[in-house]
Amino acid sequence: MIVAEQKPIQEILAMLPEHKKVLVVGCDTCVTVCLAGGEKEVKVMTAALRMAPKPLAEVTGISIERQCDGEFITEISEQAAQCDIILSMACGVGVQMMSDFFPEKPVLPALNTLFMGSNEGAGYWLERCLGCGDCVLDLTAGICPRTRCSKGLMNGPCGGSENGKCEVDPENLDCAWNLIYQRLKSLNRLDSLMAIQPPQDWSKSHDGGPRRLIREDVKL
Amino acid sequence: MADSILIIHCAEGAKKALARMSEEGHKLPPQFKTFELPCTGSVNEVLLMENLQNGSAGVVVLGCQKENCKHMDGNLRAERKVARVKKLLSEAGVEGKFVEMIFTAPDEGKRLHNTLLEFSQAAEAKGKRK
Residues A12 and A83 grouped into a single domain: yes
Residues A101 and A148 grouped into a single domain: no
Chain A contact for B91, CB < 8 A? yes
Residue B130 has pLDDT above 60, yes or no: no
What is this model's ipTM? 0.92
A210 is a domain residue: no
Structure confidence at residue B27 (pLDDT): 94
Q: What is the DSSP letter of B106?
A: T
Dihedral-angle region of residue B90 (phi above 0 means left; psi in -120 to 50 means alpha; beta otherwise): alpha
* CATH number, position B82: 3.40.50.960
Q: What is the pTM of this model?
A: 0.93
Number of structural domains found in chain A: 2
Residues A70 and A170 grouped into a single domain: no
For A39, counting Cβ atoms within 10 Å of its Cβ (0-12 exposed, 13-18 middle, 19+ buried), the class is middle
Verify whether the Cβ–Cβ distance B92 to A9 is below 8 Å.
Answer: yes
A46 is a domain residue: yes
Percent pLDDT > 90 in chain A is: 92
CA atoms of A93 and A95, how far apart (whole Å): 6
Amino acid found at B83: A
Query: Nearest Cβ partner of B95 from A10, A44, A53?
Result: A53
Residues A107 and A161 grouped into a single domain: no
Chain A contact for B93, CB < 8 A? yes
Residues A98 and A192 grouped into a single domain: no
CB A144 within 8 A of CB A128: yes
Chain A contact for B97, CB < 8 A? yes
Residues A9 and A110 grouped into a single domain: yes
Chain B contact for A15, CB < 8 A? no
A216 is a domain residue: no
Chain A contact for B83, CB < 8 A? no
Verify whether the Cβ–Cβ distance A44 to B91 is below 8 Å.
Answer: no
A203 is a domain residue: no
* CATH number, position A66: 3.40.50.2300
Residues A97 and A172 grouped into a single domain: no
Helices (DSSP H) in A54-211: which residue ranges?
A: 70-73, 77-81, 92-101, 145-148, 176-186
Residues from chain B that touch A9, judged by Cβ atoms under 8 A, are 88, 91-92
Q: What is the pLDDT of residues A155-212, one digit of tens each?
A: 999 999 999 999 999 999 999 999 999 999 999 999 989 999 998 888 888 877 889 9
CA atoms of A34 and A3, how far apart (whole Å): 6
A145 is a domain residue: yes
Verify whether the Cβ–Cβ distance B94 to A54 is below 8 Å.
Answer: no
Verify whether the Cβ–Cβ distance B88 to A43 is below 8 Å.
Answer: no
Structure confidence at residue B129 (pLDDT): 60
How many other β-carbons are positioned within 10 Å of the β-carbon of residue A206?
12
Give the best residue of B44, B48, B49 to mutate against chain A (max A CB count within 10 A). Answer: B49
Number of structural domains found in chain B: 1
Can you give the length of chain A in residues? 220
Amino acid found at A81: A
Residues from chain A that touch B94, judged by Cβ atoms under 8 A, are 48, 51-53
Residues from chain A that touch B88, judged by Cβ atoms under 8 A, are 9, 44, 48
Return the number of CB contacts < 8 Å for A and B.
Answer: 43
Structure confidence at residue B1 (pLDDT): 47
CA atoms of B95 and B126, how far apart (whole Å): 8
A141 is a domain residue: yes
Q: Please give the full DSSP string across B51-105, using - where no structure is assigned.
A: HHHTT-SEEEEEEEPTT--TTSSHHHHHHHHHHHHHHHHHHHT--S-EEEEEEE-
CB A135 within 8 A of CB A120: no
Residues A48 and A90 grouped into a single domain: yes
Q: What is the pLDDT of residues A18-55, one digit of tens each?
A: 999 999 999 999 999 999 999 999 999 999 999 999 99
Q: Say if strands B32-37 and B5-10 run parallel, antiparallel, or are unpaired.
A: parallel
A204 is a domain residue: no
Residues A17 and A98 grouped into a single domain: yes
Structure confidence at residue A200 (pLDDT): 86
Q: What is the pLDDT of residues B40-56, one digit of tens each?
A: 999 999 999 999 999 99
Residues A10 and A68 grouped into a single domain: yes
Chain B contact for A153, CB < 8 A? no
Query: Nearest Cβ partner of A9 from B45, B53, B91?
Result: B91
- Its domain, for residue B18, covers 5-129
Chain A contact for B125, CB < 8 A? no
CA distances for A48 relative to A44, A52, B8, B46, angstroms: 6, 6, 20, 10
Hey, which residues 26-65 in chain A have their CB within 8 Å of chain B? 40, 43-44, 47-54
User: By CA distance, what is B98's nearest residue in A?
Assistant: A51
- Its domain, for residue A155, covers 132-198
CA atoms of A121 and A117, how far apart (whole Å): 12
Look over chain B and give the mean of its residue pLDDT values, rounded to a whole number. Answer: 93
Verify whether the Cβ–Cβ distance B50 to A40 is below 8 Å.
Answer: no
Instruction: Over range B83-91, report the average pLDDT.
Output: 97
First to last CA, chain B: 15
A122 is a domain residue: no
Write down which residue in A88, A114, A140 finishes a domain: A114
Write down which residue in A84, A114, A144 finishes a domain: A114
Query: Nearest Cβ partner of B88 from A9, A40, A54?
Result: A9
Look over chain A and give the mean of its residue pLDDT values, rounded to a whole number. Answer: 96
Instruction: Over range A137-156, report the average pLDDT.
Output: 95
Structure confidence at residue B2 as a pLDDT band (50, 70, 90): low
CB B34 within 8 A of CB B9: yes
Beta bridge partners of A21: A58
Residues A153 and A103 grouped into a single domain: no
